[in-house]
Amino acid sequence: MKFSILNKYSLVVILASLFLSCSDDNNILPRSGNDKSAYEIIDKTMQEWYLWNEDLPDISSANYSSANDYFEALLADQDRWSYIANLDELLAYFENGTYTGYGLSFKFDNINDLRVKLIFDESPLAAEGVTRGWKLVNINQLAISNLREEQILNELDKSSGTFIFENNAGEQKEITASQKVLDQNTVLKRTMIEGTQVAYLAFDSFLNKSEEELNEAFTYFKEQNAKELVLDLRYNGGGSTYISNQLADLITGNAYAGKVYSKVFHNNSKTSENFPDAFVKQNAAYGFERVFVITTSGTASASEMVINGLKPYLGKENVILIGSKTHGKPVGMYVFEEKALNLAIVPISFSITNANDEGGYFDGIPVNYEISDDLSHDFGDIDESNLHAALEYIKNEKFPVITAAKALSTNEREFKKKGLEELIDAF
């Protein structure tokens, strides 16, 4: 079974291989002697639907110890995203954002401190007061500064742990917590900037549950008579094309309902499947004449689709990007279900352009104002450098001068992740 792109499981996501942090890719359908069907299903799906099916190599599945290894060997050089997955895990995440973990994510700042980059409402650590920007200094009696990244990941993978965090005032707090099954909230923050008519929305993933969360946010902005929008997509790796369309509709206030939002193109054997996707009227829509978008290399796929899709209508000059260039994924996937094997095959199946046939941004979408990610402040804090830059532009029609401390840093980095783990982007 293939989910249609109009279904909420059609994906434009930043993914590569599979699973959660505790998973071993080689354990995805390991060869058992009676699993010929899995390899045959992969072959048939890739030959028929893979965007780059003409580049599939002539290899034998008999030479690979697992379906995942074989699938990875099939991928084109430019494909950083196709993957296979446990079907139940995949559907649970895309329906409700459900996964097992501590409910937060980390990033190394420019001086190599490991800071909380986001935290979900249901996180047991959020209940203890931890917020974005707090520094993790110790885990399970081990100083973070003395650990390699692999060692940190091993500790975070444990079902329970003792953490010592340090807030921005230099105060430390020790917390013991256990991993739990939780549903992530995709709207991390929605607020009006005090003393202004500027709406701020930090949005993390395009999931089914996002539909209700986004409607609530834009209803609030409408009630508050917002005039400007700062859309924070800095860590949003993508998700459903359905929700991407919804967000674009909400931003444009139904002004373009029925007009082309995006165009979808398949491989040469599936050109009959090509189609344009139109803006769909949204009850909660509230029109903005321009939008400021905060981005990083983690801004991918469905996020980039929103940015690219808005430009023909708002004008490129009114879709203003702040931060660093986006990930670069102008392609999307279908989910192919094999329920008997609990297998999801998720190959790159189509490319995407906007109404003006603009796409192909594999090198990322460049920003108007380049500035480093400010990990020392929470979402919506007016002193956070990316939001501050947007507010300065709104006030003065020009960006502030970049200081050396806020210039784009090559030292900031994140843990390398794969597949669904990369989309969840949390421990």
Smallest CA-to-CA distance from 233 within 119, 359, 321 is with 321
128/108 Cα distance (integer angstroms): 22
Phi, psi of 349 (to 5 degrees): -120, -15
DSSP 340-379: GGTEEEE-EEEEEEETT--B--TT-PPPSEE----TTS-T
What is the residue type of 263? K
Three-state secondary structure string covering 304-344: HHHHHHHHHHHCHHHEEEEECCCCCCCEEECCEEEHHHCEE
With bands split at pLDDT 50, 70 and 90, how would you rate the model's confidence at 95? confident
Give the model's pLDDT for residue 395. Answer: 97
Q: Give the H/E segment covering residue 237.
A: none
pLDDT at 228 over 80: yes
**Residues 70, 30: contact at Cβ < 8 Å?**
no
Least confident piece of the model among 126-130, 162-166, 276-280, 419-423: 419-423
pLDDT at 185 over 80: yes
**Residues 423, 94: contact at Cβ < 8 Å?**
no
**Residues 168, 133: contact at Cβ < 8 Å?**
yes
Report the DSSP pairing between strands 114-119 and 104-108.
antiparallel
Phi, psi of 171 (to 5 degrees): -85, 135
13/64 Cα distance (integer angstroms): 27
Cross-strand bridge partners of residue 11: 240, 333
Q: Considering the entire predicted model, what is its pTM?
A: 0.91
Scanning 129-287, the segments in alpha helix (DSSP H) are 149-156, 210-223, 241-252
pLDDT tens, position by position, 348-365: 999 999 999 999 999 999
* 3-state SS assignment for residue 294: strand
Q: Give the H/E segment covering residue 11.
A: strand 11-13
Least confident piece of the model among 18-32, 64-78, 103-117, 193-207: 18-32
With bands split at pLDDT 50, 70 and 90, how would you rate the model's confidence at 4? very low
CA of 161: how far to CAs of 10, 145, 176, 178, in Å?
36, 17, 6, 6
**Residues 231, 318: contact at Cβ < 8 Å?**
no
Give the rounded percent of residues in the chain with a pLDDT score beyond 70.
89
pLDDT tens, position by position, 294-303: 999 999 999 9
Scanning 51-199, the segments in alpha helix (DSSP H) are 67-74, 87-96, 149-156
With bands split at pLDDT 50, 70 and 90, how would you rate the model's confidence at 377? very high
Question: What does the mean pLDDT of the chain come to?
Answer: 90
Q: What is the length of the chain?
A: 427
**Residues 11, 238: contact at Cβ < 8 Å?**
yes
pLDDT at 78 over 80: yes
CA of 49: how far to CAs of 29, 39, 245, in Å?
21, 15, 23
Give the model's pLDDT for residue 7. Answer: 42
pLDDT at 175 over 80: yes
Average pLDDT over residues 30-36: 52
262/172 Cα distance (integer angstroms): 48
DSSP 28-52: SSB--SS-HHHHHHHHHHHHHH-TT
- Interior CA angle at 34 toward 32 and 40, to 5°? 105
* 3-state SS assignment for residue 318: helix
Average pLDDT over residues 254-283: 97
With bands split at pLDDT 50, 70 and 90, how would you rate the model's confidence at 29? low
CB atoms under 10 Å from CB of 278, counted, come to 16
